[in-house]
Amino acid sequence: SPLAQRTPTYTSHARTRAGLMGNLLKVLACAELEHGPIVFLDFEHAQPTEAETAVWNQVSAVLEEAHGILAELQSYNGAGQEIREAIQNPGDLALQEKAWNAVCPLVAKLKRFYEFSLRLENALRSLLEALTSPPYAPMQHLEREQALAKQFAEILHFTLSFDELKMTNPAIQNDFSYYRRTISRNRLNNQQLEAENEVNNEMANRMSLFYAEATPMLKTLSNATTKFVSENKTLPIEDTTDCLSTMACVCRVMLETPEYRCRFTNTDTMLFCMRVMVGVIILYDHVHPVGAFAKTSKIDMKGCIKVLKEQPSNSVEGLLNALRYTTRHLHDDSTSKQIRALLQ
């Protein structure tokens, strides 16, 4: 299947991507980063230092699972046919059973995806703690903890990849709705179904909220980042947002500068940079009091949107939609008409 051919690319090009990013970041001029000193995110040789190892190992275990999750989601076909037949023939018990048997393993998959989002949330929290903790400034953290910065980028890349796949697959919500309706109907008839042991009512409610989001993984990360900032009252918000804006700036500069861009050996590298850039912009917009779109924002939004719009629309439409529909401050009065027009 096309999936089987495509999935390995996510892993096999990771090292190439990392190498290119590392090399390109080394030659960025200080003038390119208007908001503070240059940071070299060396994704090529980033190996965890002794101080990073504990967090790196924890996050690494989660990221290893991420590739399998994406592959499963990419091959998720749903039980649309079986569900349609069961609904059209309510009196045919064989068709009801066939639909139920088709949906149950799919719901077990959806449960795994949801549970993975909770592990991803914990991984992000550990990275935020490491990349913002005193006594170092955010810039120093990014320079000192290269391996963790790389993992942060990988989490964002996974998150936007997952959400793009989920948004284009209506079967997910259809399957889950059918599962819930069947459970409710049987509960009214005092029938307990085996599958309920795996996804009980409380779990089903939480999963419902998760899949109701257009971009569920991104929402999970946004909530986790916002929670991290509100729970760490002694930590200035800027420590978190400067970390995000610096990463956005680095990705933008790499994407918009022809001499860096022409050295990308495959489109994966471009897409990786774009996803990371959009991911940090959205997190910044959720966490920063005035958001990413205001004039005072440390992110050059015009530059970032322009870079995306220069790419083929089929590869960036999902990312532009993420900026349109999952940011918090786009429609604030402080957002210039020019930026709004760019995202029309």
**Cα gap 118→122, rounded to integer Å:** 6
**Cα gap 153→42, rounded to integer Å:** 12
pLDDT tens readout for residues 92-121: 999 999 999 999 999 999 999 999 999 999
Predicted confidence (pLDDT) at residue 72 exceeds the cutoff of 90: yes
Q: Where are the domains of the chain?
A: 50-343
**Cα gap 281→263, rounded to integer Å:** 25
Phi, psi dihedrals of residue 25, rounded to the nearest 5°: -65, -25
On the 0-12 / 13-18 / 19+ scale of CB atoms within 10 A, 141 is buried
The reported pTM is 0.81
Given pLDDT bands bounded at 50, 70 and 90, which one contains residue 5?
very low
Contacts of 74 (CB under 8 A, 6+ apart): 3, 6, 7, 165
pLDDT tens readout for residues 218-239: 899 989 998 998 888 888 788 8
On the 0-12 / 13-18 / 19+ scale of CB atoms within 10 A, 69 is buried
